[in-house]
Amino acid sequence: MAKKSMIAREVKREKLVKKYAAKRAELKAIANDDSKTMEERFTARLKLAKLPRNSAPVRLHNRCQLTGRPHAYYRKLKISRIALRDLGSNGEIPGMVKSSW
């Protein structure tokens, strides 16, 4: 189980990313638009830099929804390999059979 503070930090980042997504996209469009003047593009980049760092989607990290583990994360299932193995062993995942030989 991951530390509660790390899980809370990720949740906080997800909220910030959602909150600033539209503003960030708008400023990026202005900054990358070649038809705008250099000053407009520069001011858009300065405004983009003033936004909170945790509002950038790059700073998000995938975590297991059951345990909060950051490594060995299956995107399709949104859980870690260890949680997947436990659920499979308990027969809680349809069609998954525990391998034994």
Give the Cα separation of 35 and 27 in Å (integer).
14
Note the pLDDT of residue 96. 86
Q: Which of 79, 80, 78, 100 is nearest to 89 (CA)?
A: 100
Residues 62 and 70 sit within 8 Å (Cβ to Cβ)? yes
Note the pLDDT of residue 98. 75
Beta strands in the chain (DSSP E): 73-74, 79-80
Note the pLDDT of residue 97. 81
Structure tokens at 76: 């399709």
Residues 101 and 35 sit within 8 Å (Cβ to Cβ)? no
Domain boundaries, the chain: 1-61, 62-93
Residues 28 and 41 sit within 8 Å (Cβ to Cβ)? no
Stated pTM of the model: 0.77
CATH number of 1-61: 1.10.287.1480
Name the stretches of the chain with pLDDT < 50: none
What CA–CA distances, in Å, run from 42 to 33, 37, 54, 100? 11, 9, 22, 61
Note the pLDDT of residue 35. 92
